[in-house]
Each structure stands twice: as C-alpha cells, then as structure tokens.
Homo-oligomer: A and B are copies of this chain.
Amino acid sequence: MTTATNLVEALANPSAGEVEQLDAWWRANNYLTVGQIYLKANPLLREPLTAEHIKPRLLGHWGTSPGLSLIYAHVSRLIRHTGQQAIYLAGPGHGGPALVAAGYLEGTYSEVYPHVSRDEPGMLRLFRQFSSPGGIPSHVSVTTPGSIHEGGELGYVLVHAFGAVMDNPDLLAVAVVGDGEAETGPLEGSWKGVSFLNPARDGAVLPILHLNGAKIAGPTVLARKDPAEVRSLLQGHGYDLIEVEGADLPGMHYRFAAALAQAWGRIRDIQQTARGDGWDGSRPRWPLIVLRSPKGWTGPEQVDGVQVTGSWRSHQVPLSGVRDNPDHLAILERWLRSYRPQELFDEAGAPSALVAGLAPDGDLRMSASPHANGGLLTRPLDLPDFRKYAVDVPQPAQLPAESTRRLGEMLRDVYAGNPDRFRLFCPDETNSNRLGAVFEVSDRAFMEKVTPDDVAISRDGRVMEVLSEHNCHGWLEGYTLTGRHGMFATYEAFAMVSASQTVQHGKWLQEAGHLPWRARVPSLNILLTSTAWRNDHNGFSHQGPGLIQIVLTQRGDIARVYLPPDANTLLSVADHCLRSRSYINLIVIDKQPQPQWLTMDEAVAHCARGAGIWQWAGTDDGSSDPDIVLACAGDIVTMETVAAAQILKQRLPQMRVRVVNVVDLMTLPRPKDHPHGMSPTLFTELFTDTVDVVFAFHGYPGAIHQLVHGRPDADRFRVRGFVEEGTTTTPFDMTVRNRTSRYHLVMDAINNAKRLPRGATELKAWCERKLAEHEAYIVEHLEDMPEVRDWTLTAR
C-alpha cells in the first residue's frame, strides 16, 4: 500500500525532466498535427515555408487536437509508471491527426504501415496521406492503430468505453468526451454506465470531459453553464470530479499530471477494495476529469483581427488563405516553428530520444494495445450443441412453441460456458422476449440499490438490461471490438432507435476488412423479436420492420439478414452467427407461440441452403414448373403462406403450388451483389424462370423487389408485406390490414397463376367472403381470433 501510495505521489509530482519530456512529446504531436493539415512538402521546415509547400485543399480539424494530445501524453506517462493496460477513445474523433500523430510518435504507425517510416520521407508521407484520396480519412478511424472508436457520428464514446471494459478487469479505457458530443442524447444517456459496472470483475472507464468551449459554429451548453451546475450534473451521474483549467505552461502539465494521478489512484483504490474482502457492494463514485483548455490551444491567437484560439473559429482549419495570403503563410510558419521541431526530431526526421522515450513499451503503447485490435484476443465461444434445444417436430405445425424460449435456453448455456466472454444486451425485455432462461445462470447487472423483492438482479449479474437501445448497442460494439461475443435483443420497431449505430458499426467492419493488420472480431448479432406482426397488443408505434431496410443498404461483406421461421431454424442460425466474425447479423423472429415446421435435421439443411422448397406444404411434384410459387420469408408470413397453400390444396387440388421458404434473405440477390446470393441455377430451381411468384415478406415489400432485381423476369415477383397498417388489434387482423393474410395470398395466387383450374373464381369469392366475415367480426369488437387459436395443418 505504501508503495502504491508512493506511486500515486510520484505520478502526481512529475520532475522537471518529466515535464520537459511531456511537453516535448506534446509539441511534437501538435507539430505533426499541423503538418498533416497543411504541408505537402518541407516537412521539417528545413527551408523557409512557401506557398508551394502547402496542400491545395486544406482539410482536418485543429481545434480539439491539442487537448487530445495533451491527454495522450499524460496517460502514456501514467502507463510507463504503472504498467496499466489502457486504451484511448477520442470522442472528438475528428481530431484524427492528433491520434495518428500519437501512433506515429510511438512507432506503431510505422510498424503497421511501414512506408510511413520514422524519418523525413515517412513524415512527408504521413502529412500527404492525411485527408488525401488514397490516403487516410480525416477522423480517427479504423485505419488508426489503437482505436476502436471513430467519433464521426458523435455520442458513443462512453458506451464504447464501458463495453470495452466489461469482463476486462485489467483494462482502463480513457474516454475523452468533447463538449460538442456532450450535447447529444446518446452521450448524455451514457454516463450511467457506472450503474452497471462492477469494479471487482470489470475494468475502469476514466471519462475526461474536455470543455474547450465551442463546437463548429458556436459555444456549447456545458462550456457556458455555471461551472457549479456542471459539477452538480456530473456528481449526480455518480462521479467524483477532478477539475483542471487553464492554458499556462508548464503549469497545466503539473496540474493535469496531478489530476490524472489522483484519478488513477482512486480507480486503483476502488478496484482493490472491490477485489478484496471488505467491499460492501455499493457502487463506487468513479473519478472523472473535467479539463477546461482553449479550443485550438497553442494555435494562432488571432487571425485577421478576430479571435481564433478559444473560439469556434479554430474548429477546423484556422488559417484558410495560406496559399494566397502571405500574412497567413507567415502566421503558419511562426505557428509551426513555435513547437521548435529541431528539438523534437533528429537529423533523419525521427522523433528525438526525448520524445520517443515517453512511449510505453510494446503492447502497453495505447496505439498498439491488442484490446483495440480485439480480434487478436478473441477466443471462440465454447458453444453447446444447439441441436439439444430442438423442438420435437413429428409433423409440421402440430405443436406451437415459443421459438425464442429455446434460444434462451441455448443462451443460458452459452453464458454458463463462457463466463468471461459472452453477454446479452437488452432494453429491459429479456423476459418479455422469452430469453429469461439466462437468469438461471446470471442475474441482470446492477450497481444501484437492490431490494429483497427484486428478482434476478445483482452486482454480480452479467445480463445487461438498460432501457436504452443506444447503451445496449454501443456496449455490445465496445465488447465485440475488444474481442468478446454478444447479442443485442430488442423489440423490432425500436431497433430503429439505434439504427444509425448499426450503420456506423457496419462501416467500421467494412473498412476493417480491408486492413490486413486488423484481426476479425466477433460479429454484432442483433435479434429482433416482439416483431411488427405480433405487437398487436402494443399498437402502431411498436410495429415497424425498418431495420431490415437499413441492413440491406450495407455491403455484402458485412451484412446478413436471417428470418428463421421456427425454433429449430432459429437455433441453427444463432449457432452460425455466434461463430461468425465481423458481420452485422440480423435475426428476425417473433417471441409468441408459433407453429413449428422443421425437424432439427431438416432445419440444419434448410439453413445451410438458405432457402428451399417445402414440398410437403405445396402440391408441386417437382416434375415440371408449378402454376404458381408461394414464397415466404419471416415467421408470421410463413404461417400465412402455408395456410394459403393448404387452402389451395383442399379447394383447388388441380393447381400446382410450390412453397418456397427463405431463411437467409441474402440468398435472393445475384452472387455478384452479395456473397450469399444463390447461383442462377438454384434460383431457377426454386423460383423457375417464368412462373409468377407470390412472395409474402416479413418486412416492407420493396425490400424483395430490390433484392430480386436482375433475376430472370424479376417483375413476376408480387410481394406482400408490411405496408404501415397497424394498431392495437388481433394478430390475424394485422395480416389482413397489411393484405398479407392467407386469403390475400390465395387470391394473389389465383390472379397470377399460369393455368387457372376450374373453381378458381369460386375460391376467390370464398376468400372475399372470409375477409368480409373477418371485417364483421372485427366490427363486433371481439377480442381474439379463432384463425389463430384454431391454427392447424392436416399433415405432411
């Protein structure tokens, strides 16, 4: 303890030499940042600066960068003193050049990208590649070593940080929150991560709220609020505040070093207490640093008579006229030389010994942390045999079952078998979604007060429930990007709340796939249940299959959409997804009791193909083209399709009807449009080349139209699906309102069949009568539908 206390003491009081080193590293970083924004030649300023040295197009964000690099320098020193494993998340990720420069100064950048060497030619490449076509993006991105967080779309730095440290007891995630980002809803909703973080089992997040005063075009709320209110707000979120303010040097180095030492000491105390015997289990007050330093600090104070430093004017490129305006050029040269590059880089252009010496060793460098390249640390899940959760299906549709309940049993055993690397994330709906079996082996995580009446909730729980899709999604992203596995289960409609996170994470995974040094990470598995079709009890706001539409816009490298129609197909799909890497896997299935169609062996075969003919459901003997194909993707519409086929079989037996079920939606596009796209031969085997297809789809009909584009005579696909008709009603009425009921499908089949057997007109009239009866039934305000209660199929 004394040694540890001495360590904090030493950390808090850097020697003059240490401050000199910190400042040199910081100046080197700032120099490289400005160089990346402006220079295409003369990287070490060996000659006087001229317009020819300046890039023709000036891109990048200066304002936040000096703050980001100051923090980086000090955390690096902390790591060298303590051996702490740490990663760095830059909320203001548009400060990309600062983080790129950090990796470069630490040597990691040149290890990953050898052509960007630690010498003058390498430095020039570093500058020229920045924000250049064929180079690197202007934001912290997947190309930045050490990053798991882009910070382009603001709001997620804390959720990523919390996700990263769950089940990662030795990791510290330093998360810089910009005061612009701090205005977003997702960020404000993410401070509460501490209410779910167990200091005994999880690592620590150190948020650093960097109040530099302004965003793109004006001041921020937190920067201009009474500081006492800011203090009250963050204390209310559960943090212990440590505040550092100023722009004086070297004073700020001393004060920030002391603040960081204090924060780290507090974290160490919290963890030691929690990991010892004497912990009372209460939620600790984690430290949080508020750093108030000027935006664009160390840059030009004023330009053309107006204030730049400390103002929104320094957000991007504070001097925009350098190629044409000699005054601006002179200011830029003074600015660059103010960092005294000759002290920072040696003759060859490599960082000087003083600068390079700040970096921790090897993997302890934050830019080299394997936690930030989580695929390196990924251990496959120890998965149970999914077949053992199978529903027994002697005949199709004989016994209804809640499919997701079987998945819950499987997930229970995944939890049990992987206590250090699997978590389920769900907005308060684990039980509602019938996944509650997981509570047999793990409680919900909760660090606030628990009462004796509570059920399955404790500080030791590892099921993550918080009424925030943003938190759930973001935590899972942080968890998987650091190499662990999980699933986000949510109401289908409210998956749209975090749709932009699905989009952004997809972009990350897509780009990561192009970088050989990035190891593949576990997939982001999203289970959509409580679907549009069965939110009959909650009404229209809960009815929307929009996320499918979003995932369809993502590239085939990463996007997968599965619509298992029953429990056994769900289990097979889930097993596949939990083994996969670097995908967005969307699985859509409802939680209510539903008919079960396939034995486990059949399900496995069906999922392996992704789509297939259900011969038992139709009247097509396969000898030639049928009169009509009834296709379906999604559980409820599969039920309606099989029912429609059954009606046709009974009442129009001469008609040859083929039933095709699609589990893997991405088998529909052409192979050149998606790697899962089925071959032309298989497509023709299922759908023929000329017979009309009545396709009942779980989501919006347009999705199928876009997927089958380019397939033979794609116009023959007549798609029924969710068309935004909903309310609180009966399950069957949902299919009627959206014109996807069995009766609609029968009429569609008759209207589009190649041959029309005798009796077809009568059958259409019968369907119309059935729908009219349904309408009458609804008008009479009855509350449950016999079509659902009495659902049976005769036989295979």
- A→B interface (CB under 8 Å): 40, 55-57, 59, 94, 128-129, 131-139, 141, 150, 152-155, 180-181, 183-192, 195, 215-221, 224-225, 229-238, 307, 311, 428-432, 444, 446, 448-451, 453-457, 465-471, 493-494, 496-497, 499-500, 503-504, 506-507, 510-511, 537-542, 544, 546, 549-550, 552-555, 700-703, 705-707, 709-710, 713-715, 719, 723-724, 726-730, 733, 778-779, 781-784
Closest 9 CB pairs of A and B: A152-B541, A233-B236, A185-B189, A702-B706, A232-B236, A137-B539, A496-B500, A224-B448, A183-B467
A326 to chain B, nearest CB (A): 21
With A152-B539, A186-B189, A714-B714 given, is the CB distance from A133 to B553 under 8 Å?
Answer: no
Chain B hits for A136, CB < 8 A: 728
Given contacts A153-B494, A217-B431, 10 further A-B contacts (CB under 8 A): A129-B781, A134-B729, A139-B538, A183-B192, A195-B225, A496-B499, A507-B540, A552-B702, A553-B724, A715-B715
**Whole-angstrom distance between the Cβ of A731 and the nearest chain B Cβ:** 10
- A236 closest partner in B (C-beta): B233
Q: Is the CB of B192 within 8 A of A189?
A: no
Q: A217-B428, A467-B184, A728-B59 are in contact. Are A781 and B132 (CB under 8 A)?
A: yes
The one of B706, B707, B730, B784 that contacts A703, using a Cβ cutoff of 8 Å = B706
Q: Which residues of B contact A782 (CB under 8 A)?
A: 56, 133
Q: Given known contacts A180-B428, A217-B428, A217-B430, is B233 in contact with A138 (CB within 8 Å)?
A: no
**In the bound complex, do residue B237 and residue A233 qualify as a contact, i.e. CB atoms below 8 Å apart?**
yes
Of listed A136, A155, A506, A703, residue having the most chain B CB within 10 A: A155
Q: State whether B185 touches A190 (Cβ < 8 A).
A: yes
B537 pairs with A138, CB closer than 8 A: yes
Number of copies: 2
A465 contacts B218, C-beta separation under 8 Å: yes
B residues less than 8 Å from A701 (CB atoms) = 706
A713 to B706, CA, bound (A): 14
Given that A448-B225, A715-B710 are contacting pairs, would A493 and B153 also be in contact in the complex, using a CB cutoff of 8 Å?
yes
A470-B185 in contact (CB<8A) = yes
When the two chains form their complex, are residues B189 and A187 in contact, meaning their CB atoms are under 8 A apart?
yes
A705 to B727, CA, bound (A): 29
Q: How far is the CB of A66 from chain B (nearest CB, A)?
A: 19
Residue from the list B428, B430, B431, B781 in contact with A134, Cβ < 8 A: B781
Assess the A550–B549 pair: CB atoms within 8 A.
yes
- Is there contact, CB below 8 Å, between A139 and B188? no
A246 → B minimal CB distance (Å): 18
The reply to whether A728 and B137 contact each other, CB–CB distance below 8 Å, is yes
Residues of chain B contacted by A507 (CB below 8 angstroms): 540-541, 544, 724, 726
Please measure, in the bound complex, the distance between the C-alpha atom of A215 and the C-alpha atom of B465, giving whole angstroms: 11
Q: Tell me the nearest residue of chain B to A448, going by C-beta.
A: B224
Across the interface, name the chain B residue whose C-beta is closest to A548.
Answer: B553
Interface centre among A137, A311, A429, A432 (most CB of B within 10 A): A137
User: When A188-B188, A453-B307, A503-B546 are in contact, do A152 and B715 touch as well, CB less than 8 Å?
Assistant: no
Q: Which of A457, A469, A471 has the largest number of chain B CB atoms within 10 A? A: A469
CA distance A289 to B435 in the complex (A): 37
A778 to B129, CA, bound (A): 11
Contact of A135 among B56, B552, B781 (CB under 8 A): B781
Q: A128-B781, A152-B538, A189-B187 given as contacts; is B224 within 8 A of A449 (CB)? A: yes
* Assembled-state Cα–Cα distance A754/B376 (Å): 54
In the assembled complex, which residues on chain B have CB atoms less than 8 Å from the CB atom of A234? 236
Cβ 8 A contact of A468, one of B129, B183, B224: B183
* 18 sampled A-B residue pairs with Cβ under 8 A: A56-B783, A94-B538, A132-B729, A135-B728, A137-B540, A152-B538, A180-B467, A183-B467, A185-B187, A217-B432, A219-B448, A225-B238, A225-B448, A231-B236, A511-B540, A552-B702, A554-B724, A702-B706
Residues of B within 8 A of A134 (CB): 729, 778-779, 781
Residues of chain B within 8 A of A430, CB atoms compared: 217
Task: State how many angstroms separate the Cβ of A222 from the closest Cβ of chain B.
Answer: 9
Whether the pair B467, A220 counts as a contact (CB closer than 8 A) is yes
Asked if residues B496 and A219 are in contact (CB atoms below 8 Å), the reply is: no
Set of chain B residues within 8 Å of A471, measured between Cβ atoms: 185
Give the Cβ gap from A330 to chain B, nearest Cβ, in Å: 23
Task: Collect the chain B residues with CB atoms within 8 Å of residue A94's CB.
Answer: 538
Q: Which residues of B contact A713 (CB under 8 A)?
A: 715
Q: Which of B233, B444, B542, B781 contacts A133 (CB 8 A)?
A: B781
- Given the complex of chains A and B, what is the CA–CA distance between A72 and B542 in angstroms? 26
Give the complex CA separation of A184 and B192 in angstroms: 10
**Residue of A138, A185, A504 most packed against chain B (CB within 10 A):** A185
Q: Which of B185, B232, B432, B733 contacts A235 (CB 8 A)?
A: B232
Question: Closest CB of chain B to A392's CB: distance in Å?
Answer: 28
Q: Is the CB of A504 within 8 A of B783?
A: no
Nearest CB in chain B to that of A134: its residue: B778
Given the contacts A180-B467, A430-B217, A700-B553, A133 and B189 also touching, CB distance less than 8 Å: no
* Contact residue among B135, B150, B450, B549 (Cβ-Cβ distance under 8 Å from A549): B549
Cβ of A724 and Cβ of B133 under 8 Å apart? no
- State how many angstroms separate the Cβ of A120 from the closest Cβ of chain B: 17
Query: B221, A152: Cβ atoms under 8 Å?
Result: no
Q: CB-nearest residue of chain B relative to A541?
A: B152
Residues of chain B lying within 8 A (CB to CB) of residue A180: 428, 467
Known contacts A553-B700, A714-B714; A724 and B192 CB within 8 A of each other = no
Determine the distance from Cα of A511 to Cα of B724 in the docked complex, in whole angstroms. Answer: 10
Partner of A553, one of B128, B225, B538, B546: B546
Residues from chain B with Cβ under 8 Å of A138 in the complex: 537-539, 728
Contact of A457 among B137, B218, B500 (CB under 8 A): B218
CB distance from A722 to the nearest CB of B (A): 8
What residues of chain B lie closer than 8 Å to A504, measured between beta carbons?
A: 541
Q: How far is the CB of A405 from chain B (nearest CB, A)?
A: 16
Known contacts A429-B217, A537-B59, A715-B709: does B183 contact A186 (CB below 8 Å)?
no
- Chain B contacts for A56, CB-based, 8 A: 782-784
CB–CB A537/B728 < 8 A:
no
Assess the B496–A539 pair: CB atoms within 8 A: no
In the assembled complex, which residues on chain B have CB atoms less than 8 Å from the CB atom of A236?
Answer: 229-236
In the complex, which residues of chain B have a beta carbon less than 8 angstroms from the beta carbon of A307?
A: 453
Q: Specify the chain B residue showing the minimal Cβ separation from A545.
A: B553
**A705: which of B40, B500, B705, B723 is its contact (CB, 8 Å)?**
B705
Measured CB to CB, the closest approach of chain B to A784, in angstroms, equals 5
Q: Report the Cα distance A218→B436, complex, angstroms.
A: 13
- CB nearest neighbor in B for A239: B229
Pick the contact of A184 from B40, B133, B468, B537 — CB < 8 Å? B468
In the bound assembly, the distance between CA atoms of A194 and B243 in angstroms comes to 25
Closest to A539 in B: B137
With the chains together, A485 CA to B113 CA distance in Å?
A: 53
Residue ID in chain B nearest A554 by CB atoms: B724
How far is B499's CA from A703's CA once the two chains are assembled, in angstroms?
18
CB-CB < 8 A to A506: which residues of B?
724
